[in-house]
A and B are shown apart, each in its own frame.
Chain A
Amino acid sequence: MKEIVVISGKGGTGKTSITASFSVLAGRDAILADCDVDAADMHLLLEPDFANPGDFYSGEVSEIIEDKCTQCGECMKVCHFDAISLIDAKHRIDPVSCEGCGYCTHVCPENAIISRELNVGKCFVSSVKTGTKMVHARLGVAADNSGKLVAKVKNEAKELAVKLGKKYVLVDGSPGIGCPVTSSLTGADFVVLVTEPSVSGVHDLKRLYELVKKFRIPAGCIINKADLNSKTSQSIIDYLKEENILYLGSYKYDLAFTRAMTEGKTIVEWDGANSISLSIKESWEKIKESLL
């Protein structure tokens, strides 16, 4: 079983639309994982049934039991996140600012502070329209996406793939270069970088690849909206050569992507003969080949 992770640094490059297209092409061969938990959009194209929901807990938040508190102020002195304040002569913890470090619970002489686990979201193992399963999550409002939920989604997908004897785990990765994307990359066999030929696209691609290099995972790159700036596209291709990144193709700037999405379809289903659909098929073949 091989794990393929699609990432793009920042959003707006078409990463999710492309991953969903790969999912359709892979059909029953792949288990899908939506690790872009901040903006989990793959479900909009793949019609999951939101089955097997499970609560996901991550981190803690502390709370003062008023009856036990003598208002001594020790807790406030140690909190480094300004989460404890004195309001109307009472010490209170602001749950949004509380980092859940538990320092206050250890210094309170009255044992008046308790911590409770934070329910940060729900995780699903759905059946999708491509005849396979997708693991995905819905993060609660203002929840901390520390990467743990990403790790959970991915691990469940992997276990399922092993159990069902699937060839691939296809992961829509997280944005940025922080903790969630690090969790998405851990254990991957191949990384697909999706970029666009803009100054910010190039900048993000390079920054992201610095991170990928640390993991020593082989990578390929797709240049989306390539014709918007052919000069920059060419310079990206040169960069890929220098870095030994597999060039997976250039896609045209085309509103067909959006039109397909508006109908809840991936572009390869919407119009298999569209030039982008053909390019996506070619990229997918290249990825499969490089994993042999």
Chain B
Amino acid sequence: MKIAIASGKGGTGKTTLSTNLSVFLSETEKVVLVDLDVEEPNSGLFIQGKLLSEHIQYKEIPEWVQEACTLCGECQDVCNFNAVIQLGDSIMVFPELCHSCHACSGLCPVGALPMKPKEIGLIRKYKYNNLDFVESRLNIGEEQSTQLIANTNHFTDENYNNDYIKLFDSPPGTSCPVIEATKGVDYVVLITEPTPFGLHDLKLAVDTMRDLNKKFGVVINRYGIGNDDVIGYCEEENISILARIPNRRDIAELYSRGELLYDKVPEFGSEIISLWNNIRKEVEAE
């Protein structure tokens, strides 16, 4: 089973939920948590596991072979991302802009732009008690997180078979990275806060999930602050509320120290249990 934990924007408690749910589940099940929030991978701050292995990730970019080039200009014409440009009598490649589509390389009449690997990030595999944990981290200055997310999904499929419950801590937002992160999942958990900002971002996330034809439900974090508009919206739209995590100062304090919560704050632990029961029900429905 593959579950993505996502939210319209960051900082709504996505990482707290992913880490606690996965550690809790790993007490009785085979679980792998995959941190796909590659720009800001934070799960590892809460799960300090034993490092098992590291895997450098690459994307392919064209490399100019000056001796072969006839300066025909074809490469510059075909690149839709302005990532290869002819400047006087040289060809320049801008790796951050390159989407690795191979068009320039494949269409260069003399094969003067072979694709070469370039480092974009790192995948690390950890073990924390019974939990398997995969962290994926984008190099600073690298702009295309989608490729690394795709690599990480592939890595997870290869390393963990279908006996595993796979939980994906997804990047925030509603654009390409999230779409890549939720591609093959069975269910998406959307986290929000009961405030006007939370509601606004939740609506965008819901639209995106509906567009992608995903099954999803909502967790309300910091329940008790703000107002009831999020609940009203979910009822109107027939969206299941999977859990309501109370707003408590002790939760915020434990979180700030990087501690897990489910075994320390009973009111939090019970919400994690009902969250899991609700997810299972929803996934198994129909």
List residues of A whose CB falls within 8 A of some B CB: 9-13, 16, 36, 38-39, 41, 44, 59-60, 78, 80-81, 96, 99-103, 106-107, 139, 141-145, 147, 175-179, 182, 196-201, 203-204, 207, 210-211, 214, 225, 228-229, 232, 253, 255, 258, 261-262, 264
Tell me the bound Cα distance from A141 to B78 in angstroms. 28
Q: Which residue of B lies closest to A100 (CB)?
A: B80
Q: Which residue of A lies closest to B178 (CB)?
A: A142
A139 surroundings in chain B (CB, below 8 A): 174-175
Give B207 Cβ to nearest chain A Cβ, in Å: 5
Q: Which of A78, A101, A261 contacts B195 (CB 8 A)?
A: A261
Assess A41 versus B200: contact at CB under 8 Å? Given A147-B143, A178-B143: yes
A253 surroundings in chain B (CB, below 8 A): 249, 252
Assess A10 versus B103: contact at CB under 8 Å? Given A142-B211, A211-B140, A225-B252: no
Query: Among the listed stretches B6-14, B234-242, B276-284, which one makes contact with chain A, having 4 or more residues with CB under 8 Å of it?
Result: B6-14
B208 surroundings in chain A (CB, below 8 A): 141-142
Tell me the bound Cα distance from A100 to B101 in angstroms. 9
B226 surroundings in chain A (CB, below 8 A): 258, 261-262
Assess A199 versus B257: contact at CB under 8 Å? Given A39-B201, A99-B101: yes
A262 surroundings in chain B (CB, below 8 A): 195-196, 226-227
B13 surroundings in chain A (CB, below 8 A): 12
Listed A/B pairs (27) with beta-carbon separation below 8 Å: A12-B9, A12-B10, A12-B11, A39-B204, A41-B201, A59-B80, A60-B80, A101-B101, A103-B103, A107-B106, A141-B204, A141-B211, A144-B175, A145-B175, A176-B145, A178-B145, A196-B256, A198-B256, A198-B257, A211-B141, A214-B141, A225-B256, A229-B253, A229-B256, A258-B226, A261-B197, A261-B226
Q: What would 5 more interface pairs be, CB under 8 Å, given A12-B12, A102-B103, A198-B257?
A: A41-B200, A99-B99, A100-B80, A107-B107, A253-B249
- Cβ A177 vs Cβ B99 within 8 A: no
Interface residues on B, range: 35 or more
- Cβ B101 vs Cβ A80 within 8 A: yes
B22 on the interface (CB 8 Å rule)?
A: no
- Cβ A38 vs Cβ B257 within 8 A: no
Interface residues of B in 240-286 (CB under 8 A from A): 249, 252-253, 255-258
Q: Which of B8, B80, B201 has most chain A Cβ within 10 Å? A: B80
Give B34 Cβ to nearest chain A Cβ, in Å: 17
Assess A203 versus B211: contact at CB under 8 Å? Given A145-B176, A177-B40: no
Contact flags (1/0) for B87-115 with A, using CB distance below 8 Å?
Answer: 00000000000011111001100000000
B140 surroundings in chain A (CB, below 8 A): 177, 207, 210-211
Give A227 Cβ to nearest chain B Cβ, in Å: 10
Give B280 Cβ to nearest chain A Cβ, in Å: 27
B138 surroundings in chain A (CB, below 8 A): 177-178
Tell me the bound Cα distance from A79 to B225 in angstroms. 49
Assess A142 versus B143: contact at CB under 8 Å? Given A39-B201, A225-B252, A228-B252: no
Give B160 Cβ to nearest chain A Cβ, in Å: 21
Q: Which residue of B lies closest to A179 (CB)?
A: B143
B151 surroundings in chain A (CB, below 8 A): none
Tell me the bound Cα distance from A258 to B193 in angstroms. 10
Give B204 Cβ to nearest chain A Cβ, in Å: 7
